[in-house]
């Protein structure tokens, strides 16, 4: 059977367009109940964002689950975190703990001969610290961790810290083997500062920084315009700036990107990186 390349190309094009348009549509529709900013006072982004996460924490999972399924976000989380998070892990801006199910914890109680075979010890997570700024989001993720810990002893090595990831001074330099952020750079008041702190606490030798982020495409002007035009509404609904230039943020942070995959017309980036060599200069 011969494959007609034109047909394959057309099918891929139609699929990509559908996903791109769905992204713009889904992310701007049905959102959690939000506050009404009726006064003319200009509220700084950080305040608007924090206030919104406090409000939507309890409904966040219900509201976003369907959208994430349609967009295949679970696949991206599993692809990045399930296969690459290892050792002592810090996840910043953990939200409601949507990555929790993808971590592969070390099965410490496997027999030695199985561990010798490799898979259990290599590439597995020994400890997980979840850092989250919003108290309400942190409450939700703490409850989830407690529930999961009752079901699996591996989850006993998970801790939730309420804190701001632009100041991780409570963790020493190079404390973690893997540092993770998913969909956080769009919400941080100072995303470059957050990335620099994430690099500081990540091991110089063998440490990895894993990111899934959304932002402007820097390729498709029409789609970037949709994001720019919908920015204020999106902050009001979801607490994040969806039109940020992730490439520029990463360059400014001096992160050393190993690879970057683009999805959803380039609005989503999946990135594996290392602590930048120029960070300390």
Ligand X SMILES: C[S@@+](CC[C@H](N)C(=O)[O-])C[C@H]1O[C@@H](n2cnc3c(N)ncnc32)[C@H](O)[C@@H]1O
> By C-beta, is 103 or 120 nearer to ligand X?
103
Should residue 98 be labelled a site residue for ligand X when binding is judged by CB under 6 A?
Answer: yes
Distance CA 200, CA 177 (A): 11
Q: Is the CB of residue 97 less than 8 Å from the CB of residue 61?
A: no
> By C-beta, is 50 or 217 nearer to ligand X?
50
Distance CA 151, CA 239 (A): 32
Distance CA 53, CA 64 (A): 13
* Residues in CB range of 167: below 8 A, 6 or more apart: 193, 197
Binding mask 147-166 for ligand X (x = CB under 6 A): -----------------xxx
Least spacing, CB of residue 74 vs ligand X, in Å:
11
Least spacing, CB of residue 50 vs ligand X, in Å:
7
Rounded (10°) angle between helices 45-71 and 5-28: 140
Least spacing, CB of residue 122 vs ligand X, in Å:
25
Should residue 271 be labelled a site residue for ligand X when binding is judged by CB under 6 A?
Answer: no
Alpha helices (H) along the chain:
5-28, 45-71, 73-77, 83-84, 112-116, 135-151, 191-200, 221-229, 231-238, 246-253
> By C-beta, is 92 or 271 nearer to ligand X?
92
Which residue number has the CB closest to ligand X? 95
> By C-beta, is 99 or 120 nearer to ligand X?
99
Binding mask 174-213 for ligand X (x = CB under 6 A): --------xxx--xx-------------------------
Least spacing, CB of residue 268 vs ligand X, in Å:
12
* Sign of the dihedral through C-alpha 241, 242, 245, 251: positive
Phi, psi at 114, each rounded to 5°:
-75, -40
Should residue 92 be labelled a site residue for ligand X when binding is judged by CB under 6 A?
Answer: yes
Should residue 215 be labelled a site residue for ligand X when binding is judged by CB under 6 A?
Answer: no
Binding mask 10-49 for ligand X (x = CB under 6 A): ----------------------------------------
> By C-beta, is 58 or 115 nearer to ligand X?
58
* Residues in CB range of 201: below 8 A, 6 or more apart: 90, 168, 171, 172, 173, 174, 175, 176, 179
Should residue 265 be labelled a site residue for ligand X when binding is judged by CB under 6 A?
Answer: no
DSSP run (H or E) holding 130: strand 125-132
Task: Determine which residue in the list 20, 80, 132, 210 makes contact with ligand X, applying CB under 6 A.
Answer: 132
Phi, psi at 161, each rounded to 5°:
-115, 130
Q: Considering all CA atoms of the chain, what is the largest pairwise distance in Å, rounded to the nearest integer?
A: 67
* Sign of the dihedral through C-alpha 96, 102, 108, 111: positive
> By C-beta, is 128 or 137 nearer to ligand X?
137
Should residue 253 be labelled a site residue for ligand X when binding is judged by CB under 6 A?
Answer: no
Residues that bind ligand X (CB under 6 A): 53, 92-95, 98, 131-134, 137, 164-166, 182-184, 187-188, 240
């Amino acid at each position: 059977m011969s494959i007609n390349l034109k047909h394959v190309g057309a099918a891929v094009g139609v699929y990509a367009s559908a996903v791109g348009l769905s992204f713009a549509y889904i992310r701007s529709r049905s959102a959690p109940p939000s506050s009404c900013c009726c006064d003319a006072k200009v509220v700084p982004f950080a305040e608007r964002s924090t206030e919104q996460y406090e409000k939507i924490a309890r409904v966040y999972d219900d509201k976003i689950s369907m959208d994430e399924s349609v967009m295949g976000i679970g696949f991206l989380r599993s692809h990045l975190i399930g296969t690459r998070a290892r050792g002592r892990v810090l996840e910043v801006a953990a939200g409601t703990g949507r990555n929790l199910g993808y971590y592969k914890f070390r099965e410490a109680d496997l027999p030695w001969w199985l561990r010798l075979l490799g898979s259990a010890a290599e590439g597995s997570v020994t400890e997980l610290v979840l850092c989250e700024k919003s108290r309400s989001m942190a409450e939700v993720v703490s409850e989830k961790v407690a529930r999961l810990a009752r079901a699996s002893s591996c989850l006993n090595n998970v801790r939730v810290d309420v804190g701001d990831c632009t100041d991780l001074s409570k963790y020493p330099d190079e404390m973690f083997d893997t540092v993770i952020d998913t969909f956080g750079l769009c919400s941080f008041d100072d995303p470059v500062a957050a990335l620099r702190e994430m690099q500081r606490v990540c091991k110089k030798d063998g440490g990895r920084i894993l990111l899934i982020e959304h932002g402007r495409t820097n390729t498709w002007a029409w789609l970037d315009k949709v994001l720019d035009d919908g920015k204020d509404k999106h902050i009001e609904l979801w607490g994040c700036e969806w039109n940020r230039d992730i490439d520029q943020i990463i360059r400014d942070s001096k992160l050393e990107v190993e690879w970057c995959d683009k999805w959803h017309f380039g609005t989503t980036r999946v990135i594996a990186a290392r602590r930048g060599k120029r960070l300390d200069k």
